[in-house]
């Protein structure tokens, strides 16, 4: 050992970030390492923020200014006209009532889908964690492996099933589809959470005579609110952002916001109004963005829970 200076107290202070060859040297705010570190992070952060900035800036400009100017320059004259137009009068095909229609459709799709899918998956995860029956694990594994099957393989059979039931093209049909495809990840989430809860709790409730639903409603549900929040975040963003199911399982008058947005922006007729397009794009991204910025760490936890298991 060459480094004799390392006293026990130094060893505690030693941190990962002082890994340089000089050992436990006091940190300088403007060391070369820090300039490199923060410099890189700031440049990358600017790159990530740039599209959001350009979106906002473009949506606040008038069309003449866009034609003449630079996409990065801030608006000379701020106008909210594009926002109003995008929300209320932008056209898709023959409908000229703007994105508001898509917005309310998306609300009508997202709210019941989130509630239904979470209700099903939480009870399901609870059954898998605490009330195992023979074969339950087999179905669960099928469910998890099934989550990786490309949706394209299953969309047509589901079209047939929905048509047979008579709900193809309705919002109800789409809600069911979202509940089906949300099931693997949510069931996994809830199963893992309920499994990690102390077994004694469950046993005590059983001794006291509580049944399947009693334990779920009175013990499991109140104790697992954080995981419900995570699930809600996961589902709200996922369902709001969906495009494929919306385009397959709904009709033009029930299109969700993403589908309508794409139709507005990529429509071939008419003069392209880039400011309206960008306003519409922000409006569509707003709901998941708000969810994201409010939820903060829980969002990260949600995707981490969904991704890294066990």
For residue 63, the minimal CB distance to other proteins (Å) is: 11
For residue 247, the minimal CB distance to other proteins (Å) is: 8
H-assigned helices in the chain: 8-13, 32-59, 63-68, 81-88, 100-130, 136-146, 151-165, 171-195, 199-207, 212-215, 221-223, 225-241, 244-249, 257-265, 274-295, 297-307
Question: Quick one: 96 or 163, whose CB is closer to other proteins?
Answer: 163
> Is the CB of residue 306 less than 8 Å from the CB of residue 187?
no
For residue 70, the minimal CB distance to other proteins (Å) is: 5
For residue 225, the minimal CB distance to other proteins (Å) is: 20
Question: Quick one: 111 or 290, whose CB is closer to other proteins?
Answer: 290
Which residues, other chains included, contact 275 with Cβ-Cβ below 8 Å and sequence gap of 6+? 58, 59, 60, 61, 62, 63, 66, 79, 81, 82
For residue 204, the minimal CB distance to other proteins (Å) is: 19
Tokens 């298991």 locate to: 309
Strand-pairing partners, residue 92, are 95
Please tell me the distance from the alpha carbon of residue 5 to that of residue 25, in angstroms, as a whole number. 11
- H or E element: which one contains 171? helix 171-195
Question: Quick one: 27 or 96, whose CB is closer to other proteins?
Answer: 27
Strand-pairing partners, residue 169, are 250
For residue 94, the minimal CB distance to other proteins (Å) is: 20
Question: Quick one: 80 or 213, whose CB is closer to other proteins?
Answer: 213
């Amino acid at each position: 050992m060459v480094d004799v200076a390392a006293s026990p107290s130094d060893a505690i202070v030693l941190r990962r970030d002082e890994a340089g060859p000089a050992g436990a040297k006091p940190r300088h705010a403007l060391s070369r390492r820090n300039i490199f570190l923060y410099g890189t992070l700031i440049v990358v952060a600017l790159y990530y923020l740039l599209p959001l900035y350009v979106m906002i800036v473009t949506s606040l400009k008038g069309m003449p200014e866009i034609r003449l100017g630079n996409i990065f320059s801030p608006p000379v004259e701020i106008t909210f006209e594009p926002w109003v137009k995008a929300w209320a009068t932008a056209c898709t095909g023959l409908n000229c009532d703007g994105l508001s229609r898509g917005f309310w459709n998306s609300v009508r799709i997202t709210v019941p889908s989130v509630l239904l899918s979470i209700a099903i998956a939480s009870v399901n995860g609870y059954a898998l964690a605490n009330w195992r029956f023979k074969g339950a694990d087999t179905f669960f594994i099928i469910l998890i492996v099934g989550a990786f099957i490309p949706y394209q393989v299953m969309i047509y059979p589901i079209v047939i099933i929905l048509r047979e039931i008579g709900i193809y093209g309705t919002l109800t049909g789409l809600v069911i589809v979202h509940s089906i495809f949300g099931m693997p990840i949510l069931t996994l989430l809830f199963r893992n959470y309920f499994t990690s809860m102390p077994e004694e709790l469950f046993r005590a409730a059983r001794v006291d005579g509580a049944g399947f639903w009693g334990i779920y409603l009175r013990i499991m549900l109140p104790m697992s609110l954080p995981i419900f929040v995570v699930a809600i975040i996961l589902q709200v963003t996922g369902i709001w952002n969906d495009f494929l199911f919306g385009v397959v399982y709904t009709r033009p008058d029930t299109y969700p916001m993403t589908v309508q947005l794409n139709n507005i922006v990529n429509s071939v007729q008419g003069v392209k109004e880039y400011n309206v397009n960008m306003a519409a794009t922000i409006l569509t991204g707003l709901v998941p963005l708000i969810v994201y910025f409010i939820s903060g760490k829980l969002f990260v936890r949600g995707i981490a829970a969904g991704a890294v298991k066990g």
